[in-house]
Structure 1
Amino acid sequence: MPDTTRYALQITGLSCAGCAGRAERALTGVEGVLGASVNLAHATARVEAVATVPLADLTRALTAAGYPAAESEAALLISGMTCASCIGRAERALLAVPGVLGAQVNLANETAQVRYLTGMVRAADLARAVTKAGYPARLSGPAEDEAEQASRRNAEAVFALGRQVLIAALLTLPVFLIEMGGHVIPALHHWVMENIGIKNSNLLQFVLTFAVLAGPGRQFYTKGFPALFRGAPDMNALVALGTSAAFGFSMISTFAPGLLPAGTANVYYEAAAVIVALILTGRFLEARAKGRTGAAIRKLVGLQPKTAMVVLAGDPIETLVEEIGVGDLIRVRPGERIAVDGEISSGSSYIDESMISGEPVPVAKSHGDEVTAGTINGNAALEFRATRVGRDTVLAQIIRMVEQAQGAKLPVQGLVDRITLWFVPAVMAAAALTVLAWSVFGPAPSLPLALVAGVSVLIIACPCAMGLATPTSIMVGIGRAAQMGVLFRKGDALQRLQEVRVVALDKTGTLTEGRPALTELICAEGFTREEVLRLTGAAEAQSEHPVARAITAAAGKGLAKAEAFEAIPGYGLRAEVEGRTVLAGAARLMAREGITLGPLETEGQRLAERGETPLFAAIDGTAAAVMAVADPVKPGTPAAIKAFHDQGLKVAMITGDAAATAQTIAARLGIDAVKAECLPADKVTALQELQTEHGALAYVGDGINDAPALAAADAGIAIGTGTDVAIEAADVVLVSGDLRGVVNALTVSRATMRNIRQNLGWAFGYNVLLLPVAAGVLYPFGGPLLSPALAAGVMALSSVFVLSNALRLRRLKPAIDEERAAPVPETGGKQEVRA
Structure 2
Amino acid sequence: MEHQHHEHQHEMPEMKGHDHPQHQERNGMGHGDMGHAGYDHGAMIADFRKRFYVVLAFTLPILALSPMIQHWLHLQIGFPGDRYILFALSTAVFLYGGRPFLTGWLSELKAKNPGMMTLIGFAISVAYLYSAATVFGLKGMDFFWELDTLILIMLLGHWIEMKSIAGASRELELLVQLMPSAAHVLKGDVTEDVKTESLKENDLILIKPGEKVPADGMVEDGESYLNESMLTGESAPVQKTKGQQVIAGSVNGNGSLKVRVTHSGKDSYLFKVIDLVRDAQNAKSNTQLLADKAARWLTIIALLAGITTFVVWISLGHDLAFAMERMVTVIVICCPHALGLAVPLVVAKSTSLSAQHGLLIKNRTAFENARKITSIVFDKTGTLTKGKFEVSRMVFTEGVLKSENELLKLAGALESNSEHPIATGILSEVKKRKLTLPEAAQFKAITGKGVEAVAEQKHIKVVSPGYLKENSISLPVNFKVASNETVVFVLIGEKLAGFVALADAIREESKGAIATLHENGIKSILLTGDNKQVAESVSTQLKMDGFFAEVLPHEKLEKIKELQQQGEFVAMTGDGVNDAPALAQADVGIAVGSGSDVAAETAGIVLVNSNPKDIVNLILFGKATYRKMTQNLAWATGYNVITLPLAAGVLYNQGIMVSPAIGAVLMTVSTVVVAINASLLSIGNKK
TM-score in terms of structure 2 length: 0.79
Within 2, Cα distance between the matches of 1:611 and 1:307?
A: 49
- Does 1:301 find its partner at 2:173? no
Give the equivalent residue in structure 2 for 1:453.
326
AA in 1 matched with 2:581: P
Give the equivalent residue in structure 2 for 1:585.
none
CA contact (8 A) 1:776 1:784 kept: yes
CA contact (8 A) 1:334 1:377 kept: yes
Counterpart selection for 1:392 from 267, 271, 277? 267
| Structure 2 counterparts to residues 331-480 of structure 1, below 5 A | 331-442=206-317, 445-480=318-353
Counterpart selection for 1:787 from 634, 652, 659? 659
CA contact (8 A) 1:351 1:364 kept: yes
| Structure 2 counterparts to residues 200-239 of structure 1, below 5 A | 201-225=82-106, 227-228=108-109, 232-239=113-120
Please give the per-residue CA displacement for 1:410-435, whole angstroms capped at 9, x wherever unaligned: 11222222333343233212211111
Please give the per-residue CA displacement for 1:585-620, whole angstroms capped at 9, x wherever unaligned: xxxxxxxxxxxxxxxxxxxxx9996234799xxxxx
- Does 1:155 find its partner at 2:36? no
Give the equivalent residue in structure 1 for 2:372.
499
- Does 1:281 find its partner at 2:179? no
CA contact (8 A) 1:83 1:463 kept: no
Within 2, Cα distance between the matches of 1:807 and 1:773?
A: 30
Counterpart selection for 1:174 from 53, 61, 64? 61
Within 2, Cα distance between the matches of 1:328 and 1:644?
A: 46
Q: Residues 210 and 519 (structure 1 numbering): CA distance in 2 closer, same or farther, change over 3 Å?
A: closer
Count of residues in correspondence between the two structures: 604
- Does 1:800 find its partner at 2:672? yes
Give the equivalent residue in structure 1 for 2:126.
245
Residue 341 of structure 1 and its aligned partner are, at CA, apart by 1.1
- What's the secondary structure of 1:631's corresponding residue? strand
Within 2, Cα distance between the matches of 1:308 and 1:74?
A: 20
Residue 213 of structure 1 and its aligned partner are, at CA, apart by 0.5
AA in 2 matched with 1:411: N
CA contact (8 A) 1:83 1:464 kept: no
AA in 2 matched with 1:162: R
Counterpart selection for 1:738 from 611, 615, 619? 611
CA contact (8 A) 2:87 2:132 kept: yes
Q: Residues 607 and 466 (structure 1 numbering): CA distance in 2 closer, same or farther, change over 3 Å?
A: farther
Within 2, Cα distance between the matches of 1:332 and 1:83?
A: 37
Residue 241 of structure 1 and its aligned partner are, at CA, apart by 2.0
Residue 223 of structure 1 and its aligned partner are, at CA, apart by 3.6
- What's the secondary structure of 2:507's corresponding residue? coil
Residue 473 of structure 1 and its aligned partner are, at CA, apart by 0.3
- What's the secondary structure of 2:53's corresponding residue? helix
Please give the per-residue CA displacement for 1:284-316, whole angstroms capped at 9, x wherever unaligned: 112211111111111111111111111112122
Within 1, Cα distance between the matches of 2:446 and 2:264?
A: 36
Within 1, Cα distance between the matches of 2:426 and 2:94?
A: 79
Give the equivalent residue in structure 1 for 2:354.
481
CA contact (8 A) 1:293 1:475 kept: yes
Q: Residues 292 and 642 (structure 1 numbering): CA distance in 2 closer, same or farther, change over 3 Å?
A: same
Please give the per-residue CA displacement for 1:707-750, whole angstroms capped at 9, x wherever unaligned: 22211111111223469499322222222221111122122211
TM-score in terms of structure 1 length: 0.66
Within 2, Cα distance between the matches of 1:72 and 1:382?
A: 31
CA contact (8 A) 2:35 2:104 kept: no
Within 2, Cα distance between the matches of 1:282 and 1:505?
A: 48
- What's the secondary structure of 1:276's corresponding residue? helix
Give the equivalent residue in structure 1 for 2:404.
none
AA in 2 matched with 1:196: G
- What's the secondary structure of 1:729's corresponding residue? coil
AA in 2 matched with 1:650: K
Unaligned runs of 5+ in 1: 1-69, 91-106, 111-130, 139-151, 521-536, 563-605, 616-626, 816-835
AA in 2 matched with 1:266: M
Please give the per-residue CA displacement for 1:761-806, whole angstroms capped at 9, x wherever unaligned: 11111112211211111224x1423211111121222222212211
Within 2, Cα distance between the matches of 1:281 and 1:271?
A: 15
- Does 1:313 find its partner at 2:200? no
Q: Residues 657 and 552 (structure 1 numbering): CA distance in 2 closer, same or farther, change over 3 Å?
A: farther
Q: Residues 427 and 381 (structure 1 numbering): CA distance in 2 closer, same or farther, change over 3 Å?
A: same
- What's the secondary structure of 2:387's corresponding residue? coil
Residue 553 of structure 1 and its aligned partner are, at CA, apart by 12
Q: Residues 337 and 88 (structure 1 numbering): CA distance in 2 closer, same or farther, change over 3 Å?
A: closer
Give the equivalent residue in structure 2 for 1:266.
141
CA contact (8 A) 2:575 2:591 kept: yes
> Percent identity at matched positions?
31
Q: Residues 675 and 777 (structure 1 numbering): CA distance in 2 closer, same or farther, change over 3 Å?
A: same
Within 2, Cα distance between the matches of 1:389 and 1:449?
A: 66
Q: Residues 722 and 396 (structure 1 numbering): CA distance in 2 closer, same or farther, change over 3 Å?
A: closer
Residue 438 of structure 1 and its aligned partner are, at CA, apart by 0.9
Within 2, Cα distance between the matches of 1:82 and 1:206?
A: 39
Counterpart selection for 1:196 from 68, 78, 94? 78
